[in-house]
Structure 1
């Protein structure tokens, strides 16, 4: 198994990524996500979102989602996912008002996008905070081809 780092992440596919997250202890992921690699790893994950988007499941959905990934010392990274006209675009410079804003730490985020955490359970236990359209929050998983670890 590959070690969890920026180099391995850029060279593996979604299924391998899911297995990597599942096999790496949370403490190790947390350590890496508190390092200088954090922004590049988040960029890599978010840049893949449009390729994993399932337009057929979105129908005519129109949504702006802000992902607020908290970090050390009160810092955070915010990414904007826009779903409209059957397409998904992502930017790390949000400019639109979100229909939904979700806040979580980096370890929780990576577990969710790797299919290694139940988003509804993480929400109910307070690990994910959602503000705005909660029905949209509940349906995000079906809009993306989330690998199963």
Structure 2
């Protein structure tokens, strides 16, 4: 496989990314996500979300979701906004709208969720994911995306 870095991520598909997350030790992911590559990796993951969105599963869902990824330099967090409306999904790293759901998690947990390597419900139940707002939406958000299986 390849090393866990933004250049590798940009050149592989979702399934390969899922395998990379699964095969990389959490400590190594945490180290990379605390460094200079963090924003490139988060941007790459979030930029792929609209292409993995399953409009047929969303139906007439309208939602604004804020993803708060902790563990940045100096204890900072990054917030990304996913907007689902009119059968489409858009993403920005400059949240502007009031969220229907806000989920907070560390970068390792986030990457496990988006790569299909972590059970979002279990991670919520064990406190790894904190959700505020529409918990029914939180329980179903994974179904709205074609999450690869490693």
Give the TM-score taking structure 2 as reference length. Answer: 0.98
For residue 122 of structure 2, what is the aligned residue in structure 1? 121
Structure 2's unaligned 5+ residue stretches are none
RMSD value, Cα:
0.5
Instruction: Measure, in 2, the Cα distance between the counterparts of 1:28 and 1:40.
Output: 16
Distance 1:146 1:93 in 2: 24
Alignment of 1:24-103 (within 5 A): 24-72=24-72, 73-103=74-104
Q: Which runs of 5+ in 1 are unaligned?
A: none
TM-fit CA distance, 1:47: 0.2
Offset, 1:74: 2.1
Cα-to-partner distance string for 1:1-56 (whole Å, 9 max, x where unaligned): 11110110000000000000000000000000010000110000000000000000
Measure, in 1, the Cα distance between the counterparts of 2:78 and 2:17: 21
Aligned length: 149
Shift of 1:135: 0.2
User: Following the alignment from structure 2 to structure 1, what is the Cα–Cα distance between the partners of residues 121 and 75?
Assistant: 25
How many Å separate the matches in 1 of 2:140 and 2:125?
15
Aligned equivalent of 2:138:
137
How far residue 71 of structure 1 moved from its aligned partner, in angstroms, is 1.2
State the partner residue of 2:148.
Answer: 147
Deviations 1:75-105 (A, max 9, x none): 0000000000000000000000000000000
Superposed structure 1 runs of 4+ greater than 6 Å apart:
none
The aligned residue for residue 2 of structure 1 is 2
